[in-house]
Structure formats: C-alpha cells, structure tokens
Amino acid sequence: MAEMKKLTTASGIPYFEHENSMTAGPRGPILLQDVILHEKMAHFNRERIPERVVHAKGSGAYGTFTVTHDISSYTKAKIFDTIGKQTRVFLRFSTVGGEKGSADSERDPRGFAVKFYTEDGNWDLVGNNTPIFFIKDPKKFSDFIHTQKRDPRTNTKSPTMVWDFWSLNPESLHQVVLLMTDRGTPASYRHMHGFGSHTFSFINDKNERFYVKFHFKTLQGIKNFTDAEAAAMKSQDLDHAQRDLVEAIDNGEFPRWAMRVQIMPEAEAKTYRWNPFDLTKVWPHADYPLIDVGVLELNEIPRNYFAHVEQSAFAPSHVVAGIGYSPDKMLQGRLLSYPDAHRYRLGVNYEQLPVNRCPYAVNNYERDGAMRLDDNGEDQPNYFPNSFGDITPDIAYQAPGQALDGLYADWYDRNAAGEDDHYTQPGNLFRLLTPEDKQHTIHNIVASMRGITGPKQDQIIQRQLCHFFRADIQLGMGVAQGLGVAIDMPSHGVQGHTR
C-alpha cells in the first residue's frame, strides 16, 4: 500500500482534530485558540472568487494542436513553422449571459477560448461559436450585457430589455438571426464550431501583414437542440454540456476541430465591400476561402475543475510574434478590458497560476503584488536599464509598424453612411437556411419576443419587425404572423440587396 499522507494545516503543520472543535468541557463554548477551526472557516468563507461578469459558467480541457499544412508564407509564428508540430493547449467553453448556476442549454452564444502554450509565450485566441457579435463598438458592451442579465427592479431576466436594445441597435440583427437558429442551442460543446471572430493580423518573415480570421470546424459534426429539446434538457440536467465533455474524454472519444483561416492581403482591406474590421460582418468564403492549418484535439480533463477551469484566464491581448491585432474596434476594447477583468477577479499575478503560466521562460521586471507565487525575481534588479541583470530585449521580436487610417481624432459614427447596411448579411443568412431551419428560427424569435411586456411593448415589437422585414420579407412576415401582428406587405425597399 502507498504510504498515507499526513493531514496538515495550510502551512504544512500536521494535526489530528479535524472534526471536533476545542471547547471548555463537552458542552461548553468553543475556545478562541482552536486555530484549525479558524483556518477552515476563514478559507471556506473565501472559496468563491468573484464569478466572471460574462462567460461565468464554463467547461474546459487540455489537449494538443497539430500543424497539418504550411502557412509560413503568411506568418512567422513558431507554432506554425513545421508540419506535424504539436503544441499543448487548454480550451474553455462557456455560455455568455448566464450565472454559474445557469443551464448549459440556454439560448446564448458559447465562448470558445483557446490558450496555446507556445515556445514564444502563451497565445490566447478568445472567441465564440459564432463568427460575429451583436455590436461593433466596445462602448456599447456593458449596456448590451446589462440587457442579458437581470432587471434592476424585478431581479429577473427581461425579454423586454433584450429586444428593446436589439431593436434600437440594428447592427445586432446579424447575430440575433444566427442566435435564433438552432445553432443558438448547441447539443454539446463537442458538436459546435469555434471562431476567433475578430480580425487579427499575420506577419511573415518579410514583415508583410495579412489580415486573418480563425475558424475551428468541429470534426464531430454539428448537432443542435430544437427550442423544445433545449427547454426539456433544463429540467433533466443543467450541466449536460459539462457532463458530456467529461464523459467523452474519459471514454477516449477525444473531440477534434480543424483549424482553418481566411487570409486578406493588407491592401485589400481598404477597398473590400464590407468593413473587414466590423465584428457584425463576415467575410464570405467565396471571397476569402478557408485555408487548412491544423487539428486541435482535447484529450485531458483537469483533475481539479477550480484550479484549471475556474482560474483560467484568457486575453486577446496575448499574441505571439507573427500574430498581431487589427483596427477591429471590439478587439481594441478587449485588449484593455480582459486583462483588467482578470486582475480584479484573480489578482495582479493571475498569470502565475498553473493553468495560465507560460511553461517556458518568463523574464521581466514586474514584482510583488498579492499572491506572488514564484521567487519574485529573487535578487535580480527590478528596473531597466541596469548594469547587473541578464534580461535584455531581443530585436528579433520587434513588431513592424502599422499605417493609421487617419490623423484626425474624433468620435466617428460606427453606423455612418457606408457602414450602415445591417440587413444584407442577416438576410443572406436566413435565405441559406433549410425550410425546417427557417421555421425553427421564426418559432424561436416569436417565442422570445412574446416575453416583451410593458407600456413600450408595441413600439419595441414594431421597431424590431421593421428590421426583420428589411433583412428578408419571409422572415418579417413569419415573425409578424407568429406574434399576431397585422402587417401590410411592404411594396419596396425593405429587403436587403443580395450579393
């Protein structure tokens, strides 16, 4: 038999009485000197770190990414430099709007965040199971998320808040239509695609820049719940997606995704018919076909959920040499907000936690702060430049400059002329659906909009119906009929032009 481990305090001191508090006599009061009781209760009181404001409920697993195709002409990132090269990864799935105790089957986008432990540092690709989002400027993000959370008076979820915001922000329509298809309720995390969503940069060894979008195509096939099936699952198993992921990997059924990219030469970004940095738009595959890169496989469930999944922290600001940013306004906002959220939730040294720590070298002049888990730089200088240390910047990692779009700073309207076609792409999306999927989408929209109440009910419904009609007449009529709203068939100008 293996030697049993001694029970100890957090400071490593062995002790025996784990179940009985020290008292003055068998029935007397507890003594202040029972420090074991203090330690247990004090730690218990602090077991719950603040949950994430968004993406609070998640599942995660470790795995590998294997390069299968050569894309070195586009990027000098070392992760892609050799066919067959493997990189360890950690992937966290999540719902977006729900709290930690919410149901896995809620109609909601799903987070799809991948941490690649590369030799040049950790690269975080932080996306969703949709290639688009509801808004295109980060100033709107907190307002949007407030509508997905709880009403400040009733403390309940409010379809009125949700649809009021969407109806006042037609840029949301593309994501709304996608969310209302059955892809808004994936049957499991294994059976959905993932996307980097934002536009990023690739930089090759000639310092040429390409704009790139990342796609992860599930090799298990797409499987979704209908609205009724998703509702039924809530009553059967709130944690079905977590359970499915654990059981699949434990049974050796390792889920896999094919990583593919879309590549746009830098010069084409200025003339492309859509703003390539608009998160509410896609790049049609006919214009920029998918290029194979590699395969991501998940094959290891963490032995402790809290240590790895709950304490994992991702930030799109974490890119490695050969990968860069773009003028995508939502991406620019996330570069600031994600690390800031982690410093609040986990502390300034959150990147020293095992799941977040780079397994290769970490050398800098950052010191101190709560929960410093390493040697804190020992006796090395904590300033730069200095005459004593052995850390020096490597010019090989100098990133190339990037041309600016203009020199005049102002608050530009994200939906000005040329940026205000909110209807063509969602209309095209709806027209691509099968007849059954169209029926389900209309049903899901109607079911959600029936929850709109209050004195502005008719105004919100009419405003949103106008958006649906402008995208596709069949979609608008289907929703109107489902809601019992009498609509005269529009004569012209309501349907987005097709491509």
* Contact by Cβ (8 Å): 238, 101: yes
The catalytic residue positions are 55, 128
Backbone phi, then psi, for 380, in 5-degree steps? -75, 155
Query: How many whole angstroms separate alpha carbon 386 and alpha carbon 184?
Result: 54
**b/e 393-409 (16+ beta carbons within 10 angstroms → b):** eeeeeeeeeeeeeeeee
CA atoms within 13 A on the CB side of 313: 27
H/E element, 65: strand 58-67
Greatest Cα-to-Cα distance within the chain, rounded to the nearest angstrom: 89
Query: How many whole angstroms separate alpha carbon 307 and alpha carbon 314?
Result: 15
Query: How many whole angstroms separate alpha carbon 295 and alpha carbon 307?
Result: 26
**Helix, strand, coil shares of the chain as percentages rounded to 5?**
30, 15, 50
Place of tokens 């070298």: 361
From the number of C-beta atoms within 10 Å of its C-beta (0-12, 13-18, 19+), residue 347 rates as middle
- At residue 248, the 3 state secondary structure works out as helix
* Contact by Cβ (8 Å): 60, 307: no
Query: How many whole angstroms separate alpha carbon 437 and alpha carbon 100?
Result: 30
Query: How many whole angstroms separate alpha carbon 127 and alpha carbon 106?
Result: 18
Nearest by Cα to 196 from 112, 276, 267 = 112
Query: How many whole angstroms separate alpha carbon 473 and alpha carbon 471?
Result: 7
Query: How many whole angstroms separate alpha carbon 199 and alpha carbon 319?
Result: 13
